[in-house]
Structure 1
Amino acid sequence: MRKVWVWALVLGPLLLALAQALSTERMRADLEALLAQGPRVAGSEAAAAARAYLVQELRRAGYTVELHPFTYSRTRDQGSSLRVGGATFPVMGVAGSPAGRVEGPLVVVPGAGLAADFAGLDLRGAVAVVRRGGIPGLEKARLAAERGAVGLVLLTEEPSGTRFTFGGSSPIPGVTLGQAEGARLLEAGARAVLEVRFLSEEVQGRNVIARRGDAPPLVLVGAHYDSVPGSPGANDNASGTVTVLELARVLASHPIAERTWFVFFDGEEDGLWGSRRFVEEYPGLVQGLRAMLNLDMVGVDVNGRLGIGGSPELRALADCEAVAVLCGGAPGGGSDHVPFAQAGVPVLFFFRGLDPNYHRPTDTYADPALMAQTAQVVRGILERLLR
């Protein structure tokens, strides 16, 4: 307790100054500006308008702003289907899945669908049914394929029709289905016909990079600004985007900004493309980073606390008590910190949980007060990391 008390004495004035500098009204205006564009799907006019807004605000705050262009191939679901007996189920193809039609008996993978749950299963010629979570969906697809499965149905806690990505190329066709409908699968029959129908298109994405000075960064603070089709993306992820933008504003004249880049990633929803391309195209810079801090869905209090996951040595720098923020753990997550972690960079992931409006047209709300709390915690970490 003495250590926490001493830190509070040392950091109290700094954090009070930050609380005064952070503007929830300004953050609310940022949210409204982003939401006014509609769904910010990578490659769309709405994404371009959101990007122009970020560039304008960052330059107004005194940053040098660069656009990092990249291209990738995206698939859109064109009516994927799952028929079992005489019943049809409302599935959605998973981005990264190959297109095609397969059929075979349904086989349920037990438990949470972890690697051990696949051991000993005979999935030859089967359509595997497995719960989403625990390990990446792409790993589940690979495990199923290794056991001989020809297709995969991922049962999700989210409603049917929610869009997901494998974050890579799956060896077998895969779809998602809400657990409520998934409970009826085996009642409908033992044999399934699964068809994944996709349309491929080339996408031009652009990351937004804000920096002060010419020194290479020691820390990167990021968030993705794109959203999925049909969703305004208030919490996912205008909340993280606006938080990083406001943090950049209040740190613009602070020495922290001289060694920190603020990066707004595009193409996250299609498979972490912006962060993946950044890591691939800036290898020297990435290897010199002490940390990558990623903010995704920090505007809705789903779990009653701010989740922080990632490198234990960085997590230890998060003094949530000093700013009266209740913090807990967070999953590894399929967000933009993952490519950096895979490249050996220590990472932290800030996340308040999947709210009921995740990837839905109703994702229209994020709380600036929660976002300001997140910014205070991130600021404290940066102070300790770069002092």
Structure 2
Amino acid sequence: MRINAILIFLVSITIGIHTQTLSSQTTQDYFDTIRPEYSGGLAFETTAFVEKYWRVAGNTGFNETVYFIEKHLKSAGYVLEVDAKDSDRFVYRIEERPMQRPTWEPVSAALAFAGSNELILNQETNRNMVYLNSTSTPVGGIEAEVVHIGDVKDLEQIEVKGKIVFAEMSARELYQTAIVEDGAIGLITYNNPSYLQPEKNKTSIQFRSLRYNKEFPVWGIALSFEAKERLLSELEKGKVDVKVDIQTKIYPSTELTVVANIRGDKLPKESLVFSAHIQEPGANDNATGVGAQLEMAVLAAKLVKSKKIVANRTLTFLWGDEIISTRRYVEEKEKRTSDINWGISLDMVGENTAVTGGSFLIEKMPDPSAIWTRGNDKHSEWGGRVLKEKDMKPHYLNDFIINVFMQQGKHANWEVNTNPFEGGSDHTPFLRADIPGLLLWHFTDQFYHTDNDRIDKVSQETLKNVGIGALVSGFTLINGDVHFAEELKGTILKAAEERLKAEFELSTASIKKGNSKADEIKILTTWANWYQDAIASLSDLISESDVEFQYEIRKGQKLVGEIASDYSEQLKSL
């Protein structure tokens, strides 16, 4: 009955709309135009270039990536902002800021048992063995005894001055006590999480960092499972001395951020922002985000210039330091000419999942699945805290993006899944500023943040699928008008009906097991409220004077409320 009611309602809203159309192109039109053009070739080429470097803001790899992006933007017709004319629609800038702390990059490193030529670790094969912000050892290396502890409290009983502390924990827990207070000369740690399958991926090292402290410089080495086992085996035999030779660069630098814009033709002061961070040393994380977004920016310019696609609102592409650059772009309103309507983050978007595991994920804006995670919803192994109702961000963006990517998934026989909000990437600054924002990514990845996250774990086909889905989503949104709002309303109503039905079935089973009816009705009601507010958010796409569509929005909200009320009454009667 309810499905029929929704279908009747959807037919009714197509009548009597008077708002001026911005674009006659549909989502399917964008798919038809973009699919033949977006090969993933430039995305893969960029990924291969970027992943060669250990990247952190201000260092060689980070800056070389910026210049690589700039080269391709210029070739695509983007003009440096300071040289641009008012008539130029394709512009970019590179923002430069002095860094409060020096940048860092590794040069070389080796760990061996003293008196032996056999290496335990070598940076040529384990690029993550040295902690970020580690200082250099004396030229030629240093030899010292390794002291194994099980807990920081062990340092109260063990003399470590002039020695190297080894523990299976984060170096951050050890730094103050072992280095600053007790005079240890360095740290060796192991703490790869279980989702990395360390017993299988024995050479993987997940990158680690120390806080830079000029007064107490220190170096740290992170071990692979294999190296950890070797060291433990030798320690069981007695006293162990090792030779550590680390060379790094720590120097003042400038932080760079790239911002490229395709200025909107009709509504230039409204925009969608794509964001991808450059820093981190891996291929999938996040050279793939950099690459996919660069091909998107290049292709978008080509399609707009050739008039195959229009761009009524402004389309922005941002590359920089994770969260920091995006947050700054959001906050520094005086440096941009457009307000931000939507934000989409590309992070780990090119995985060969047959090798890495997991699947492509859309991390949703905060919805009730981040309060009650059940049924088909599940968090990734990265994890997320339980949210509260006040944290909810109801908006049409969730179901719109999911719908677009499901279409691409069906077309390409490509798996697309979702996860409740977890945070930790470039979508969070948008959300904190009450801007609709979500994340495109992959998880679980057994090579996440490890030195085995290299180009052989990347799939050009995945880069292609993500790039197509993201660019189709972007053009649909920046050209969205009342007709798009009508279509999207149907998508949201269908999603609402399916969600409320699923939650009703879960609640029915829960009540039959003896759980509280009131609690289960609360879950159902919260979902209904979320979807009613998501329908209301469609008003962003239409004129305030469009009274008829505002009326249709209220009708849609009422229908969702009626479905939820019917289900609630059934739950009460159980």
TM-score for both structures, normalised by structure 1: 0.67
**Aligned residue for 1:56?**
75
Q: Which residue of 1 aligns with 2:319?
A: 264
Q: Tell me by how many angstroms 1:247 deviates.
A: 5.9
What's the counterpart of residue 103 of structure 2? 74
2:177 counterpart of 1:177: no
Counterpart residue number, 1:97: 134
Asked if the contact 1:163/1:359 (under 8 Å) is kept, the reply is no
3-state SS of paired residue (1:197): strand
Aligned partners of 1:93 and 1:77: how far apart in 2?
7
- Between the aligned residues of both structures, percent identity stands at 14
- Contact 1:308–1:350 (8 Å) recurs in 2: yes
Equivalent pair of 1:305/1:328 in contact (CA under 8 Å):
no
Q: For residue 283 of structure 1, what is the amino acid of its counterpart?
A: E
Q: Any residues of structure 2 matched to 1:292-371 within 5 Å, and which?
A: 292-302=343-353, 303=357, 305-309=359-363, 311-312=365-366, 313=393, 317-319=397-399, 320-321=402-403, 323-324=405-406, 325=409, 326-329=416-419, 335-337=425-427, 347-353=437-443, 354=445, 359-360=453-454, 362=456, 365-367=459-461, 368-371=464-467
Distance change (3 Å), C-alpha of 1:16 and 1:71: same
> How many residues of Structure 1 are paired with residues of Structure 2 in the alignment?
355
1:343-383 deviation digits (Å, cap 9, x = unpaired): 88775332124476954354664221343234446667876
- Specify the alignment match of 2:172 in structure 1: 142
Q: CA deviation at 1:249?
A: 6.4
Amino acid at match of 2:95: H
Unmatched runs of 5 consecutive residues or more in structure 1: 110-119, 131-139
The answer on 1:153 being equivalent to 2:173 is no
Greater fraction of residues in strand = 1
| Structure 2 counterparts to residues 219-238 of structure 1, below 5 A | 219-224=272-277, 228=281, 235=288, 237-238=290-291
Residue 337 of structure 2 corresponds to residue 284 of structure 1: no
* 1:241–1:264 CA contact under 8 A, matched in 2: no
Whether contact under 8 Å (2:188, 2:223) holds in the other structure is no
Kept in 2, the 8 Å contact 1:155–1:182? The answer is no
Please name the residue that 2:166 is paired with. 127
Structure 2 unmatched ranges of 5 or more: 14-24, 54-60, 80-87, 367-392, 410-415, 481-487, 489-536, 542-574
CA contact (8 A) 2:130 2:221 kept: yes
Tell me which protein shows more helix as a share of its residues. Answer: 2
For 1:176, the aligned partner's letter is A
Q: Which residue of 1 aligns with 2:234?
A: 188
1:253 is aligned to 2:347: no
Amino acid at match of 2:209: F
With over 3 angstroms needed to count, the CA separation of the structure-2 counterparts of 1:57 and 1:339, relative to structure 1, is same
Q: Is the 8 A contact 1:236 1:358 kept in 2?
A: no
Tell me if structure 1 keeps the 8 A contact 2:293–2:317. no
Q: Which amino acid aligns with 1:19?
A: F
Quickly say closer, same or farther: Cα 1:243–1:184, change in 2 above 3 A: farther
Return the offset for 1:53: 0.5
Residue in structure 2 matched with residue 43 of structure 1 by the alignment: 63
Residue 294 (structure 1) shift: 1.4
Taking the aligned partners of 1:243 and 1:53, their CA distance within structure 2 comes to 11
Separation (CA, whole Å) in 1 of partners of 2:147 and 2:395: 45
Structure 2 residue corresponding to 1:107, chosen from 118, 132, 149: 149
C-alpha separation in 1, matches of 2:344 and 2:248 = 34
CA RMSD of aligned residues (A): 4.9
